[in-house]
Amino acid sequence: MSKKISVGGQALIEGIMMKGPEKTTMAVRMPDGQIDLTEMNSTSIKDKIKPLKLPFLRGIVNFIEAMIQGYKALMLSADKSGFTEVEEEDENGEKKVTKLSKVAMGVVTVLAAVLGVGLAVVLFMLLPRLAVDGITYLAGRPLPVWARSLIEQVIKMSVFVFYVWIVSYMKDIKRVFMYHGAEHKTIFCFEAGLPLTVENVRKQKRFHPRCGTSFMILMILVGFIFSTVIQLVFEDVYANRWFWVLVKIAMVPFICGVGYELLKICGRYDNFLTRIIAAPGLWLQRITTKEPEDGMIEIAIAAVNDVLPEEEKIPLPSEDAE
């Protein structure tokens, strides 16, 4: 019998953050091989402002909160796993391990965030518009609204998939994607009502319809609809290139809200329509999830088990051995 409790997670550096109905836990493999469990803050502004739980609004809030919490968990996992430690030689030629300071990590992170936002605006907002201008010039006549929107979204999709594919070959990112696979497999095992053992988890598939990768793809597809409608209703909005970029940025929260609702539908129902909606995201997960090692599965099992209500918990393998 499949489980009705909703559990979701995020792959980290040498670990996984898992969110359950009552708590959120981060499980990380420490340098000494032990599994560290850290409870994360799971309170949401939706608990204080009830209207934010309404459909579409909840998607916007969840997206923002997930970004903030995900960033904190990623930085904490890097620190706990020893990722921030660097090996140096002292004046005597002896090797020593030095941990990067929080200030240094903060500066690097802020710079990366600023550059990342700027690059995202250029690649996903400005580049598609410039491409449409170039195609329009070559065609010698204005393109239909649907064609402009389609070209922009195809370019966004292509840039996103190409970027993910390139970074997937980086050693550290590949390991994160392996933890991503362990997360999905463990959630599938739990949802199937099977005991959470390495053997049972290893047999599960790694492509999950509620994945954040699917959410990103859904945002691009929903963006095509929003873009087309706005151009049809406000015919002159596309004329000014930079104004159109600002309009697309302003559309992001609304696209997030719609994309979130579609993602929930795909995770709740399994029919012909939801399979079509989920298909692009599931396909992209062939890049963003990799087959995990057994040690990674152990991390995922520890994270899932820790966020389950007491009546749902199972003994972990390490506890069985004691």
pLDDT digits (tens, 9 = 90+) for 309-321: 876 666 555 544 4
Is the pTM higher than 0.85? The answer reads no
Q: Domain for residue 265, yes or no?
A: yes
| Residue 88 belongs to a domain | no
- The total number of structural domains in the chain stands at 1
DSSP symbol at 35: E
Cβ-proximal residues to 105 (8 Å cutoff; 6+ apart), any chain? 75, 78, 79, 84
Can you say whether the dihedral through the CA atoms of 306, 304, 198, 310 is positive or negative?
positive
pLDDT in tens, 171-226: 989 999 999 999 999 999 998 889 999 999 999 999 988 888 888 888 888 888 99
Q: pLDDT value at position 17?
A: 95
> What is the reported pLDDT for 114?
64
For the record, the structure tokens of 176 come out as 């994160």
Domain span including residue 220: 8-83+141-307
Q: Which two tokens stand for residue 241?
A: 């290139």
Q: Is residue 148 part of a domain?
A: yes
Give me the average pLDDT of each 10-residue run along the chain (322 residues).
71 93 92 93 88 89 88 89 65 58 58 67 83 92 90 89 90 93 94 91 91 82 89 86 87 89 82 84 91 96 90 56 40
In a domain, 275, yes or no: yes
pLDDT (0 to 100) of residue 248: 87
Does residue 110 lie in a domain region? Answer: no
Is the residue at 91 inside a domain? Answer: no
- The closest alpha carbon to 11, from 262, 235, 296, belongs to 296
291 located within any domain: yes
Asked whether residue 111 is domain-assigned, the answer is no
Assign 3-class secondary structure to 208-231.
Answer: CCCCHHHHHHHHHHHHHHHHHHHH
| Calpha distance 15→278 (Å, rounded) | 26
Cα 16 to Cα 187: distance, rounded to the nearest angstrom: 12
